[in-house]
Homo-oligomer: A and B are copies of this chain.
Amino acid sequence: MGIYGASILVRYQVGRLGSHMSMNRSKQIGLRHVALKLESLGVGNTEIDAVLNRMNVVAAIKRSEEIMSFCRPAKHLVVLLEGVACSYERLPKGNRQIYGYHYAGDFCDLHRRLLPASGHGVSIEAVTDCSIGVIKHADLEELIARYPSLSLGVWRSAMLEACISRKGILNTRRSALERVAHLLCEVLARREAVGIKSPSIPLSQTDLADAAGLSAVHINRTFKQLRTLNLLAKEGRTMKVVDRSRLAALAGFDGSYLNMPELLAGWQLEIDAPRRGQESSLGRIGSQLLVLRAV
C-alpha cells in the first residue's frame, strides 16, 4: 500500500513522550490507523500517502489532559494516532456532556477551521494516554483541491459525525438500561474497528455517565442491573462485556450507522436472533427483561 512511502518529518514534543514506548513503532501504528480510517472513508491510496506525508508533528498527551489547548492558535488539524479521546461540552451548571469518543485515526477538530463559531464551546480531552499528529489546514485544503476522492472522504467523515450524533439524540429517548447497553455496544464496535478486540471497557463510570447523559449514581445502578442479567461482569476495576449479542439485542443496536463494513457481520443481525415470531415483545423493555431473566 505504500503508506510509509516518503520520509515523514516527525518532531517530538520534548519531555512529554512516555518513555516506555518506542517512537518509531508508535508513529507507525498511529499512521497506519490514519490510513485505515481514510481507506474506510473511500480515499484512494495515492491520496492517503499524500496526507500522511504532510503530517509532521507527533506528541504525547496524558490521560485527562486537554488536547486542543496543546496546539493554539489552531493553524493545524489534530489527528489522533493512538489512544482514546472524547469531545465534550460543559453545561452552565458545570455538568458535562460527552458528544462522542475518538479513536486512533480520527480527526479531532474538523470544525475548527471550517465553522469556528459552530464548534465554540466544544473541548477535547484525552481519556487514555494518547499520541496525536497534526497537519496544516492549508496543506489539507490544498490536497482536497487536488484530489476529489479526498474531498469526498472528508465530507463523508463529517457526515458520519452527524449521523453518530443523531443516533445519540435518538438514544436519549430510550430507558437508562437500553441507553447504557447501546452506548457500550457502540464503544465496543468502534474499539474493534481499530483493532482492540478486548471485551473490557477502560472508561470510568463517570465518563460513561457523561456520555449517556445520566447521573453517575444511576449509571452504577444500571450496571448492577446489567450484571444481574449476566450481560456484564466486573473485572477488577473495569467492566467486561460478557454477552455481546444479548447486550445488542437489549439495546436494539444496529451498528450499520458506524460505517464499518468489515464489522457488521458480528453485530447487525443478532438483534432478532434469540427469538422468532415474537418480535413484538423485543421492543418493550419490561417484557424484554423478563425474557432475559428467564433464560
Contact = CB atoms under 8 A, between A and B. Distances in A.
Contacts of A152: 114, 141, 144
A168 to B, nearest CB: 5
A111 interface: yes
Given A152-B141, A155-B158, A163 B111 contact: yes
Given A141-B152, A213-B173, A158 B165 contact: no
Interface string A59-103: 000000000000000000000000000000101110101010000
A103 to B, nearest CB: 17
Given A111-B159, A158-B158, A160-B115, A169 B256 contact: no
Main secondary structure of the interface of A (DSSP, over half): helix
A136 B152 CA distance: 16
Interface residues of A, number: 51
A155 B156 CA distance: 8
B159 A91 contact: no
A118 B264 CA distance: 12
A266 interface: no
Contacts of A154: 155
Q: Top 3 nearest A-B pairs by Cβ distance?
A: A92-B283, A165-B165, A145-B148
